[in-house]
Amino acid sequence: MTMMKTLKMTAMAVGLGAAPAMAADVEVLHWWTSGGEAAALNVLKEDLAGQGIGWQDMPVAGGGGTQAMTVLRARVTSGNAPTAVQMLGFDITDWAKEGALANLNPIAEEGNWDEVIPAALQKFATHDGQWVSAPVNVHSTNWVWANKAIMDELGLEEPQSWDDFVAALEAAEAAGYTALAHGGQAWQEATFFDAVVLSVGGPEFYQASMIDLDPEALGSDQMKEVFDRMGTLRGFVDDNFSGRDWNLATAMVINKEAAFQLMGDWAKGEFLNAGKVPGEDFLCFRFPGSQDQVTFNSDQFAMFSQGDGVSDEQAALAKAIMSPEFQIAFNKVKGSVPARTDLDASALDACGQRAYEDFKAAAASGNLYGSMGHGHANPAAVKNAMYDVITAHFNGEYDSETAVDELVTAVEISQ
Ligand code: GAL
């Protein structure tokens, strides 16, 4: 091992005091630590390695990025911002408002980003006329993942309505399976919530409550029904759900221990990484009652200003992320679809092609909604306040009526 490598590893081992990025390295803070996520990240690492750019890895485990954002704040506060950071939606806007992000306009102009990135993503990737991040993908959160062998064994069809879905969960439970594989972490429950809000009140209700934060919608009878349904779902998870990581819940579906999981399409990356085939070993369908809508989130890489302009490594990373070949190669592994809308989708698998078409159709018909659970509906302060109420209810601290009242108050005071 070289002296420099030893020094870097020692610095990494002491956490926040990571070694400063070397001339031709990018230091990337991210939360892609599951098997499927790591495999996708490798596509990016290899792309950069091919250009002679080194990669200093700064992984902070924890789906949805909550922990990563806490570590980021500490790093920036101690004057040691990473070169590039995986970020979601309103977090990007928050950092851009603080003036912390590098201006990527020269690279964006050269790559024609204005034309190839849809407005729904530009809303977060730009601030005050400047590109501040490079979107690598589009995920969506309102999916159900199913073990096909269990569905076949129980004679279950793809559920079309909430009642159908509850019947399928009951059948799986009666047959001795864990009906719903779940990890009890706030962001995972918030992921359920995205889909349940849509299924109860449709897109208008989602818009009013999750995006416009309308107190009437937040305090409505429909919201009580949302919490009632969350309670019903809670009844189908196993006893050991608390704190379980999302990918371990996916593994329960992969291993035929559990019938279903409600999770964004990064779950597909786990199935693929385990050698499973969509349509044969597992099925994906929209959460019943939200078939025409797409709640989306987009992983983007924001570059932290390191002095004047964008460094060569940052420019190379941004360009690599936006290249058409990379967007296809990466998203095939990750379970997401490309952030660019000008690509030939035939290279994606069946689930991916369906998701790419869904995404483009939803964007065109106005059925694309930012995911609350993944930072695309409202700013982090509001999102975290919602998380607290949703999780407290899920864990039995509030009944549905109290949860509705708490939600109204939490949203009001967090703005
Ligand atoms: C999401 C992110 C995905 C996936 C997931 C679980 O917020 O957009 O890329 O990594 O968290 O970690």
Look at ligand 1, atom 12, and give the residue with the nearest C-alpha: 63
**Pairing state between β 294-297 and 368-370:** parallel
Who contacts 27 (Cβ-Cβ below 8 Å, separation ≥6)? Answer: 18, 21, 56, 58, 82, 83, 84
pLDDT at 57: 96
Inform me whether the pLDDT recorded for 408 exceeds 60: yes
Inform me whether the pLDDT recorded for 15 exceeds 70: no
pLDDT at 285: 93
* Among 376, 391, 304, 375, CA closest to 103: 304
pLDDT at 11: 39
Inform me whether the pLDDT recorded for 200 exceeds 90: yes
**Nearest ligand 1 atom, CA 375:** 7
335/279 Cα distance (integer angstroms):
14
User: For residues 326 and 182, is the Cβ–Cβ distance under 8 A?
Assistant: no
pLDDT, mean of residues 208-224: 98
What confidence category does residue 321 fall into, taking pLDDT thresholds of 50, 70 and 90?
Answer: very high
pLDDT at 6: 39
**Annotated domain spans of the chain:** 2-138+298-347, 140-295+355-414
**Nearest ligand 1 atom, CA 336:** 9
Q: What is the pLDDT of residues 232-249, one digit of tens each?
A: 999 999 999 999 999 999
Who contacts 245 (Cβ-Cβ below 8 Å, separation ≥6)? Answer: 34, 61, 63, 183, 185
Distance 186 CA to ligand 1 centre (A): 14
What confidence category does residue 286 fall into, taking pLDDT thresholds of 50, 70 and 90?
Answer: very high
Q: What is the pLDDT of residues 36-91, one digit of tens each?
A: 999 999 999 999 999 899 999 999 999 999 999 999 999 999 999 999 999 999 99
User: For residues 206 and 198, is the Cβ–Cβ distance under 8 A?
Assistant: yes
pLDDT at 8: 41
* Among 66, 71, 89, CA closest to 81: 71
What confidence category does residue 3 fall into, taking pLDDT thresholds of 50, 70 and 90?
Answer: very low
**2-138+298-347 and 140-295+355-414: same fold?**
yes
| Average pLDDT score, the chain | 92
Inform me whether the pLDDT recorded for 349 exceeds 60: yes
Distance 136 CA to ligand 1 centre (A): 12
Look at ligand 1, atom 2, and give the residue with the nearest C-alpha: 64
* Among 240, 288, 239, CA closest to 260: 288
Architecture of domain 2-138+298-347: 3-Layer(aba) Sandwich (3.40)
pLDDT, mean of residues 12-32: 64
Inform me whether the pLDDT recorded for 372 exceeds 90: yes
Distance 63 CA to ligand 1 centre (A): 6
User: For residues 358 and 285, is the Cβ–Cβ distance under 8 A?
Assistant: no
Bridge partner list, 56: 27
Who contacts 208 (Cβ-Cβ below 8 Å, separation ≥6)? Answer: 214, 216, 217
Inform me whether the pLDDT recorded for 250 exceeds 60: yes
Residue for token digits 């596509």? Answer: 43
Q: Which fold has domain 140-295+355-414?
A: D-Maltodextrin-Binding Protein; domain 2 (3.40.190)
Q: Sign of torsion, CA 353 354 355 361?
A: positive
User: For residues 86 and 32, is the Cβ–Cβ distance under 8 A?
Assistant: yes
pLDDT at 22: 45
Look at ligand 1, atom 1, and give the residue with the nearest C-alpha: 64
- Ligand 1, CB cutoff 6 Å, lining residues: 31-32, 37, 63-65, 88, 139, 246, 266, 297, 299, 374
What confidence category does residue 195 fall into, taking pLDDT thresholds of 50, 70 and 90?
Answer: very high
